[in-house]
Amino acid sequence: MATKKSDGEGFAPLLGQGILEDEVAVGFVSGIFGTSGDVRVHLYNRESTYFRKRRSIALVDGKGKRFSAELKCRSGAGARVLGNLGVLRTREHAAALRDWQIAVPKASLPQLEATEFYLADVIGCGVALGDEVMGTVTQIHQTGPVDILEVALAEGEVGYIPALAENIADIRADPIQLHPAARELLG
């Protein structure tokens, strides 16, 4: 991550705009916690242990400006994930980061099991039954224990496929291969 001169707020601006092609969004700052500049973090994979150690990240604001930071997370009460960005010292600084995206280099992410996938790798992929392409994944809905793939079909229709082994033969293929029983999920 190449940086420019410090912005004076404790974060060094990064070159580029938005989340870069070799990065993946892993969550966003959802609020503040406490009085010393800690933040609440929404991680797309809340169970991940990746941020138990302090890690280099890119913070991306709503206009696409990028800033270098380091993030360490811990569990909070209930489903909360609390983060420390190191240089923040006040609630006001933490509040200014609300809704900023958190991105990391794809190469720094852990290797996945055969049945696991990164959301960013699935969005935009075709969905097929054999050689017949049925549509394209446009969004992933995280509904708790099962992620749901939203698929744009022909003529503006939408289908939903639970990411379960009984529906998906190969999620890492492009296009993603479905089991024949999943055809009824797409109409």
Segment 140-171, tens digit of pLDDT: 887 778 889 999 998 889 999 999 999 999 98
The pLDDT value given to residue 102:
96
* Domains, the chain, ordered by start: 12-108 (2.40.30.60), 119-186 (2.30.30.240)
Distance, in Å, from the CA atom of 108 to the CA atom of 39, rounded to the nearest integer, reads 23
As given in the structure block, the two tokens for residue 69 are 């930071």
The pLDDT value given to residue 78:
77
The pLDDT value given to residue 72:
96
Q: CB within 8 A of 100, min separation 6: which ones? A: 28, 29, 59, 60, 61, 62
What is the DSSP pairing of strand 126-129 with strand 176-178?
A: parallel
Task: Decide: helix, strand or coil at residue 119.
Answer: helix
The pLDDT value given to residue 9:
59
Residues with pLDDT less than 50, the chain:
1-8
The pLDDT value given to residue 30:
94
Residue corresponding to tokens 């017949």: 132
The pLDDT value given to residue 57:
96
